[in-house]
Amino acid sequence: MRQANIGTHSRTADNDILPIDWNRGRIPLKSRGWIYAAAIMFVLSACANGPPLQSGPPTHSPQMENAADTGKESSGEPAPTGESVREPLISSVPKASVPAKIAYLTFDDGPSLNTEHILGILNTFGVKATFFVIGNGSEQGRNLYRKITDSGHAIGNHTFSHDYSTVYKSVASFKRDVEKLNTLLEQTTGKRPELLRFPGGSNNHQARKHGGSRIMSDIAAAISEEGYVYFDWNVSSTDAASKMQKREDIVESVRQGAQGKQTIIVLMHDSAGKTTTVEALPDIIRLLQEQGYRFQVLSKDSMAVRFLQP
Ligand SMILES: [Zn+2]
């Protein structure tokens, strides 16, 4: 009777709760009780310890979360120890702390027919550059000013006349020349450039010959006061070193000049006659791309390379 009761009870229980295999009687009833108990203990233990995932290595460290929330930059701090080191740190660090290599290609003394060719090459590579132009009121000149800005490149003022004896005669003379070009550019493109490059750079002997020993620092101070930002360069393509510099020498000068530099302002010329600069440009772009540089246009906020401080 007792056995029958137990058996009835067990069968009912088995039929309602247990998987089919259990009905085949392979495991004695006595053992089933222990297995139930063990299963319950396992579940209780798991609940007390929290979800099983948390017992493994953390997938997201608290340090990273704090950095992301506050936007604080973690460089300069000692590296976190232990499990958090396994985090892919690079993905959590703000972009500003991993400086990109930036190349600013600059072309002086245009526009000319070569400007047209250069714009075509830049367009093919999808690269933007900065043109420090001089005065050219012809129809072709005006069209090229427009084409430069319409293509997303930057224009800077390189004085209207680019004549050393005129622009460096005095501060007033320099300002007049700059203003004359900016008026032409505003009429043509609708914008007045605030970027400027001195003919010959900010530290040139010609200027002192025409305007005295203080002329460059006086002009630099005066134009900075008016809101202009001037740029020199830290990589020369040497395309102005001779009347017709060899294409290979231009490429090699840029390669050597860029070595070890994170940000480069490359000096080139798009004036008439500088055809080897046009020929060298595709190689220069490929070379710098292979070295990891990204190309940008100069703006007032760009790193300013200056031989002479205002
Ligand atoms: Zn120039």
Domains of the chain: 2-55 (no CATH), 62-94 (no CATH), 101-295 (3.20.20.370)
39 vs 231: CA distance, rounded Å? 76
At 16 the three-state DSSP class reads helix
- What is the distance in A from the centroid of ligand 1 to the CA of 162? 7
Neighbours of ion ligand 1 (CB under 5 A): 108-109, 199
Contacts of 82 (CB under 8 A, 6+ apart): none
- What separation in Å is there between the alpha carbon of 199 and the centre of ligand 1? 4
Where helices occur in 80-170 by DSSP H, the ranges are 89-92, 113-125, 139-150, 164-167
What backbone torsions phi and psi does residue 185 show, to the nearest 5 degrees? -70, -35
Give me ligand 1 centre to Cα 51, in Å: 70
Spacing, Cα 115 to ligand 1 middle (Å): 14
pLDDT in tens for each of the 310 residues of the chain?
344 343 333 333 333 333 434 444 444 455 555 555 555 555 444 444 443 333 333 333 333 333 333 333 333 333 333 333 343 344 444 555 567 899 999 999 999 999 999 999 999 999 999 999 999 999 999 999 999 999 999 999 999 999 999 999 999 999 999 999 999 999 999 999 999 999 999 998 899 999 999 999 999 999 999 999 999 999 999 999 999 999 999 999 999 999 999 999 999 999 999 999 999 999 999 999 999 999 999 999 998 899 987 7
Contacts of residue 207, defined as CB under 8 A and 6 or more positions apart, other chains included, come to: 164, 168, 198, 200, 215, 216, 219
Distance from residue 181's CA to the centre of ligand 1 (Å): 14
Cα–Cα dist 157/185, whole Å:
9
What's the gap in Å between 158 CA and the centre of ligand 1? Answer: 7
The structure tokens listed for 218 are 């006086």
Rounded to the nearest 10 degrees, the angle between the axes of helix 275-290 and helix 247-258 is 40
Instruction: For residues 163 and 171, give the distance between their C-alpha atoms in angstroms, rounded to a whole number.
Output: 14
